[in-house]
Structure 1
């Protein structure tokens, strides 16, 4: 089932076109990862789909409606985005930050309702951050902060969550912690997860569907087995990769690679 897709989407900055006439589908209730080299348009695509930036032509369609024409609060009840570098939360406690996720549901003077507090506590519990509720966000480790930002996105009660490189600047253990949390949200809460990842093996391990971009175009989209191949990685990254099988997940993994020179 596909609720969200782009149709001939073109995005650019000024006279420079980053993505031209791109059509992709986002499978519902699955984990989709977007891979590609730096500057290929991964983050730009995420921002355009979620209406953070405008696009030049084409359309983003969710549930049969053009996203660009949707009411802002209604859209915020359907999709949430966690950017690569979240805004500074200095001076806020964890609970206060997560409460910002309730903005689409607030009316009048913006006071939190009993329902809001229940959802905030639920989001903290699901992300394993309840114990930090009254602590300053600045006092947490990188992995803990990332889980709190995910809790804020969860508090929006959206069915689709976008994340731009959610493991950046985290050590290996915290990267795995965040990705396992997202996988849990997908499997247990049926959330559609769309994220940009740099690590190919993380993308293969956690994704149901992968979109490989190069210069704003889709080189290949499909299952991990269809995308993590020697030819696709050659085309996308200009590397000569050796592909093996992850002994734990049985999914393909890049075991080693060399740069392709002069091709």
Structure 2
């Protein structure tokens, strides 16, 4: 089933075109990873799909409606986004930050209701951050902070969560912790997860569906088996990759690679 898709999407900054005539489907209740080299348009695509930036042509369609025409609060009840570098939460406690996820549901003076507090506590519980509720966000480790931001997205109660490089600046253990949390949300709560990832082995391990971009255009979409292969990686990254199998998951894995020189 596909609730969210783009048709001939064009995105640019001024005269510069970043994404060109891009049409992709985002499978519902699955994990989708967008991969590609630096500057290929991954983050730009994510921002356009979530209406953070406008697009110059084509459409982003969710539940049969063009999101460009959707009411902002209504759209915020359907999709949440965790940007690559979240805004500073200096001076906020964890509970206060997570409460911002309830903004689409607030009316009048924006006071939190009993229902809001219940959802906030649930989001903290699901992300393993309840013990931090009254701690300042800026006193937490990188992995803890990332889980708190995910809790804020969960508190938004959306079916779809977008994340732009959620493992950036995290060590190996915290990267795995965050990705396993997202996988848990997908499996146990049927959340649709869409994320930009730099690590292709993480993408192959955790994503059901991959979108490989180069210069703002789709090179290949499909499963890890279809995308993480020498031919596609040669086109996307200009590398000669040796692909094996992950001994624990049996997913495709880039073991080593060489640059392909012009």
TM range (shorter): over 0.9
- Hey, what does 1:172 align to over in structure 2? 172
Aligned residue in 1 for 2:22: 22
1:189-227 CA-partner distances (Å, limit 9, x unpaired): 100000000001000000000000000000000000000
Cα deviation for residue 241 of structure 1 reads 0.3
Aligned partner of 1:132 in structure 2 is 132
Consecutive unaligned residues in structure 2, runs of 5 or more: none
Alignment of 1:17-166 (within 5 A): 17-166=17-166
Partner of 1:254: 254
CA RMSD of aligned residues (A): 0.3
Q: What is the total number of aligned residue pairs between the two structures?
A: 262
* Cα distance, 1:20 vs structure 2: 0.9
Aligned to 2:198: 198
Distance 2:251 2:235 in 1: 20
Distance 2:67 2:245 in 1: 39
Which runs of structure 1 show a deviation greater than 6 angstroms over 4 or more consecutive aligned residues?
none
TM-score by length of 2: 1.00
Match of 2:184 in 1: 184
Structure 1 length normalisation: TM-score? Answer: 0.99
Structure 1 unpaired stretches of 5+: none
